[in-house]
Amino acid sequence: MTPKLRSANLYKANLSRVNLSKTDLCGCYLGRANLSGANPSLAEFRNADLSQADLRGADLSWADLSKADLSLANLSKADLSGANFHKADLTKTDLSGADLSGTDLSEANLTKADLREAYLIRTQALDCNFTEVIFTGACLEDWKINQGTKLKHVICEYAYLKYDYTQDKFIERRPKNETQNFAPGEFTCLFQKALETVDLTFSNGIDWKAFLLSFQQLREEYGEEYLSIQAIEKKSSGSFLIRLEVPLDASKAEIERQAKTLYDTKLSTLEGIYRAELKASHDQLASSRQRSANLWEIVKQQANKPII
């Protein structure tokens, strides 16, 4: 049976290292409570007040904190993976070193929060307010942001785009040069630009003719002035990444779907042509070999005729 503490007054309560897994704490007043090292995984904190609470190193994985007040709370090095912070107040919250992998931060307010060295891998941050947030050293692999995501006056010296699971470390630093840091406003420009792009990955190499044909058709639909190639990258694995610039109001997911569908269609058509040409080449080669064989027989016959 799931324990229920709904709407309880737990102001300044000492719940350090307590197992609160799956507990119903909706609407609770936990202001300045000590939950450091606690295990509230899968717990429900909807509309709870956790302002100035100590949650250092707590396990809040898959917990529901939607619309909760966590302003000025300390969540450093907490496990927040898969947690729901939809419309939560995380103003001035310490999230340094926290794991927010797969976390839902949609429409949350993180104004002036500290996200130094945080894991933001596959984090959903649509319409999230990151105004004046510190991102230095954070990993932003596959995080999801949109035009409603606020990145105004962000503080970031450098960030990482990938996490290496085998070595347990962040990789692909930006800026790439270890001796350089972002200039003021450069981080925001970089990721706002990313909002206007679609990345197409070709893991098994690329047929350039098929891609160009599909890209031309895609441009005819969206307009040549609104769709262009921003970059082409060849990975060490042999795969290719093509980054397209797209209209601000366009559906990136739809463009990606269309681009892949068109490419697959063109590739299938071209492969049919290639096979037909190859068969024709084989047929021509067989015919040529037969003609050569016939010619050889004639030569032999002529060679066997007596000289008059």
Residue type, 185: G
190 domain-assigned: no
Q: Which two tokens stand for residue 73?
A: 């709370």
Kindly state whether residues 234 and 286 are assigned to the same domain.
yes
Q: End-to-end CA distance of the chain, in Å?
A: 114
Phi-psi region of 47 (alpha: psi -120 to 50; beta: other; left: phi over 0): left
| Most distant CA pair in the chain, distance | 125
Cα–Cα distance list, 201 to 10, 206, 211, 212 (Å): 50, 9, 12, 15
**CA gap 123, 36 in Å, rounded:** 23
Q: Which of 48-52, 173-177, 233-237, 248-252 has the highest mean pLDDT?
A: 48-52
Digit-coded pLDDT (tens) for 47-65: 999 999 999 999 999 999 9
The Cα 106–Cα 109 span in angstroms is: 9
pTM: 0.68
- Tell me the pLDDT tens digit for each residue of 205-225: 888 999 999 999 999 988 776
- 152, 182, 212 - which closes a domain: 182
CB 70 within 8 A of CB 86: no
Are 294 and 272 part of one and the same domain? Answer: yes
User: Does 191 map to a domain?
Assistant: no
Rounded distance, CA 103 to CA 191, Å? Answer: 19
Q: Is residue 189 part of a domain?
A: no
**221: enclosing H helix or E strand:** helix 208-222
Q: Is the same domain home to 149 and 239?
A: no
Share the mean pLDDT of the chain: 88
Question: Total structural domains in the chain?
Answer: 2
- 133 with 245, same domain: the answer is no
Do 47 and 161 belong together in one domain? yes
How would DSSP label each residue in 204-216? Answer: T---HHHHHHHHH
Question: What is the domain extent for residue 295?
Answer: 196-304
Is there a contact between 26 and 47 (Cβ–Cβ < 8 Å)?
yes
Residue 230 forms part of a structural domain: yes
Residue 167 in tokens: 């070595």
- Smallest Cα–Cα separation from 104: which of 76, 62, 142? 62
Per-residue pLDDT at 12: 97
* Domain contains 187: no
With beta carbons less than 8 A apart as the criterion, state whether 155 and 133 touch. Answer: yes
136 and 204 co-located in one domain: no
Residues 164 and 208 occupy one common structural domain: no
Q: Which residues of 142-180 are buried (b: 16+ CB within 10 A; e: fewer)?
A: ebebeeebbbeebbbebbbeebeeeeeebeebbbeeeee
Tell how strand 240-245 and strand 169-174 pair up: unpaired
Q: How far apart are CA 112 and CA 132, in angstroms?
A: 5
Per-residue pLDDT tens over the stretch 68-89: 999 999 999 999 999 999 999 9
